[in-house]
Amino acid sequence: MKSFAVTVIATAALVAPLAWAQPKPSLLADKSALVADLMRQMTLEEKVGQLRLISIGPEMPAPQLAEEIAAGRVGGTFNSINHKEQRPLQEAAVGKSRLRIPVLFAYDVLHGHRTSFPIGLGLASTWDMDAVRLTARTAAVEAAADGVDVTFAPTVDISRDPRWGRTSEGFGEDPHLVSQVARAMVQGFQNGARRGEVLQRDSIMASVKHFALYGAVEGGRDYNIVDMSPMRMYNDYLPPYKAAIDAGSGGVMIALNTVNGQPATSNTWLLQDLLRKDWGFKGVTFSDHGAITELMRHGVARDEREAAKLAITAGVDMSMADQVYLKELPGLVKSGQVPMKTLDNAVREVLGTKYDLGLFHDPFLRIGKAEDDPADLKADSRLHRPPARDVARRSLVLLENRNRTLPIAKGASVALVGPLADAPIDMIGVWSAQAVWKQAVTLRSGMEQALAGKGKMLYARGANVSEDKAVVEYLNFLNWDEPEVVQDKRSPQEMIDEAVAAAGQADVVVAAVGESRGMSHESSSRTRLDLPESQQALLKALKATGKPLVIVLMNGRPLTLGWEQANADAMLETWFAGTEGGHAIADVLFGDANPSGKLPLSLPRSVGQIPTYYNYPRLGRPFTPGKPGNYTSQYFDEPQGALYPFGYGLSYTEFEVSKPVLSASTVKAGGTVEASVTVKNTGDRAGETVVQLYIQDVAASVVRPVKELKGFRKLMLQPGETQVVKFAIGNEQLSFYNQQLQRVSEPGGFNVQIGLNSRDVQEASFELLP
Ligand code: NOJ
């Protein structure tokens, strides 16, 4: 992808107005000496204070939080991004608290900060790790300028059940792809700094979440239990967390769910044996919001004292929005129920993290100047619009394009309809940090700008996102301080009539349909994944006009799109594309950009078919296409397999991929075989595509998946151009965790499959020798 300069906004004051005493140079130069020196001086209560992450809220107004900090009872705060809020808190810490230990500022920076980039699923759909890294880098620059030290991101929970609303936040269903994205995000946030290195002023510390397995909540219902075999855990769900940690993520946020019968928050195996011992993680762990108190509701702690004891013993360093550490830890330590060493371990991580954040060098490092007007931070000039537009273009997945309906000629007259056509709030998705929704380009405005002076555009809303009162109430409840969900008061039929009339005057209809952003969020689990009825009725009426129908989907999870697939002339999945979404989508609709996004998860045919992931384990009685019959694993009332497979996405040009050629038909253990294919752009315009490498272990000591993604390459080809793509296949690609949870590659046959999606592949085979 193109490289973009990320503007570093110099807001941090080098010399803070408050005179604060920097630690002695000899200590400042030596992290462990500084931490040890502080710990020698700390009282028990001050140690406990360092473990508390508290935000300003109705129960903790800002002045009270400042008092708590001055009293040494708080180690960090979250959700304070305004330097007018932050400065007094940091002044209380370094000006008033006995030991002058700075507080850290944390925030959820997931897909951009002031500039909103596409949501997680959109980022993953780019299959472009430079693009992904750039979004995190840009977010870090913007967030650091807002005083943020730590982000609770990336969210790398593998999700195979789109009923789960947080599917939107993660990067899909595949361990390899999600791991690559996880790594790129951490590198971007931290600007390449490893854990334990001091971060630059314009970088923020990543804190990978939700450790672990949060995406596997039963039934896709948020906060539900998770129960899974160890092999599945190791092979499929844990790799992305590990990848983020290997990339240097300074922090880890602990999941709300159970792992093997024990809440993650009290799970010593997870937080000690796996995370710290096996993976060698040395950094800070954060509980999720109120999770320590929730140990009582889980039924593993009788009371707050036991909850605090379980959490600190398991290895929860900082407690988020919880009072139980404050109330209970001093007593637990005094009575000997929690060894001082356990407490010290947690405090050491928190102080070490503050050192790595550069806060002992300058506690005001990332906090804006006292005289800065916070409103200026919202100025459009601070946004990074060009990379947002570029990445958003790359995130769009073309699902259908019959008769080359797209791109639309700019001279055409276009009817734009649908409840998401002019919905700036939805465009930025949830977890939109400090993005200002009024700065988001809607599809309506993007298309108007693209057509200016060239074609004609008619607009009609056509439908509300939903007419279901309960849904609208839920969305308003979620909409925090934003305006209420816009509900057009006209009757559904009136709105449809208007849209149909617009369609009648147009050459082509573009229908922007899908979900409101709140429908794909924390706690927003759905039992149905089709478009709400109001929108289905709109689409059917538009179809009946006979005009070419282009469906532009905006949604935060896979939807079931049977009717849409059968009836759309073209269909573009845009997820929630961010601040520049409207421009990017218009670029693709009118052919100024050629779509290259690929699905990071399978789109199911129906809710009943879930889970529909492509890399499922092999079966004794698999369904065999073309050989229907009884007693195979199938649903008899529906075609098998995903409606759109993992890795799928069309382009305005066509590509041909040759059969894979292998460098050898046998390879010794530890050796490497090279697979190569020739890819040709056989169409008439330049375009990018993603060549995907899948491996199948023919016979192993345990049941292995039908195929697994093990590599991919995104390439740009001019019309007629060919390129040879090579993949090295060695131990890394062939090994897996066996029943003893040892990582092994086993001698025997392997099938190498290469294609432009997970379903349509060509195969070659080789033998791994002992
Ligand atoms: C709860 C969410 O589960 C977590 O992802 C988030 O970081 C915290 N709230 C803080 O906002």
Helices (H) then strands (E): counts for the chain: 24, 27
Q: SS3 for 178-206, per residue?
A: HHHHHHHHHHHHHCCCCCCCCCCCCCCEC
The pLDDT score that the predictor gives to residue 11 is: 44
How far does residue 289's CA lie from ligand 1's centre (Å)?
A: 6
The residue ranking higher by pLDDT, 370 or 572, is 572
Whether the pLDDT of residue 13 is over 50: the answer is: no
How far does residue 105's CA lie from ligand 1's centre (Å)?
A: 14
**Which atom of ligand 1 sits closest to the CA of residue 210?**
5
> What average pLDDT is seen over the chain?
95
- Ligand 1 pocket test, pick from 148, 265, 288, 478 with the greatest ligand atom count within 8 Å of Cβ, gives 288
Beta strand 666-668 with 761-769 is parallel
User: What is the pLDDT averaged over residues 97-106?
Assistant: 97
Architecture per CATH, domain 388-557+576-593, reads as 3-Layer(aba) Sandwich (3.40)
Ligand 1, residues at Cβ distance < 6 Å: 108, 152, 209, 288-289, 522
CATH superfamily of 655-769: Immunoglobulins (2.60.40.10)
Q: What is the DSSP string of 111-141?
A: SBSSSBPPPHHHHHHT--HHHHHHHHHHHHH
Tens digit of pLDDT for each residue in 710-741?
999 999 999 999 999 999 999 999 999 999 99
Query: Which residue lies with its CA nearest to atom 7 of ligand 1?
Result: 152
Query: Coil, strand or helix: which one is 692?
Result: strand
Q: Of 535, 541, 567, nearest to 405 (Cα)?
A: 567
Whether the pLDDT of residue 21 is over 90: the answer is: no
Tens digit of pLDDT for each residue in 289-331?
999 999 999 999 999 999 999 999 999 999 999 999 999 999 9
User: What is the pLDDT averaged over residues 35-39?
Assistant: 98
- Ligand 1 pocket test, pick from 105, 241, 253 with the greatest ligand atom count within 8 Å of Cβ, gives 253
The pLDDT score that the predictor gives to residue 72 is: 98
Query: Which residue lies with its CA nearest to atom 4 of ligand 1?
Result: 288
How far does residue 254's CA lie from ligand 1's centre (Å)?
A: 10
Q: Is the dihedral of CA 151, 154, 157, 159 positive or negative?
A: positive
Whether the pLDDT of residue 546 is over 70: the answer is: yes
pTM of the predicted model, to two decimals?
A: 0.97
High-pLDDT (> 70) share of the chain, %: 97
**Which atom of ligand 1 sits closest to the CA of residue 152?**
7
Q: With 0-12 CB in 10 A as exposed, 13-18 as middle and 19+ as buried, what is 753?
A: buried
Query: Which residue lies with its CA nearest to atom 11 of ligand 1?
Result: 108
Whether the pLDDT of residue 79 is over 70: the answer is: yes
Whether the pLDDT of residue 413 is over 60: the answer is: yes
The domains of the chain are located at: 31-372, 388-557+576-593, 655-769
The residue ranking higher by pLDDT, 234 or 630, is 234
Q: How confident is the model at residue 501 (pLDDT cuts 50, 70, 90)?
A: very high
Q: Is 288 a catalytic residue?
A: yes
CA–CA separation, 237 vs 194, rounded Å? 23
H or E segment and range at residue 253: strand 251-254
How far does residue 288's CA lie from ligand 1's centre (Å)?
A: 6
- Ligand 1 pocket test, pick from 80, 108, 109 with the greatest ligand atom count within 8 Å of Cβ, gives 108
User: What is the pLDDT averaged over residues 464-485?
Assistant: 82
User: What is the pLDDT averaged over residues 165-169?
Assistant: 98
Query: Which residue lies with its CA nearest to atom 3 of ligand 1?
Result: 288
Q: How confident is the model at residue 373 (pLDDT cuts 50, 70, 90)?
A: confident
**Two tokens, residue 486:** 């816009």
Name the active-site residue from 222, 246, 288, 356: 288
Tens digit of pLDDT for each residue in 582-626?
999 999 999 999 999 999 999 999 999 999 999 999 999 999 877
Please state which CATH number belongs to domain 31-372.
3.20.20.300
**Two tokens, residue 188:** 């971007």
Whether the pLDDT of residue 19 is over 70: the answer is: no
Whether the pLDDT of residue 519 is over 60: the answer is: yes
Q: What is the DSSP string of 463-510?
A: S-S---HHHHHHHHHHTTTSPPPP---S-HHHHHHHHHHHHHT-SEEE
The pLDDT score that the predictor gives to residue 628 is: 62
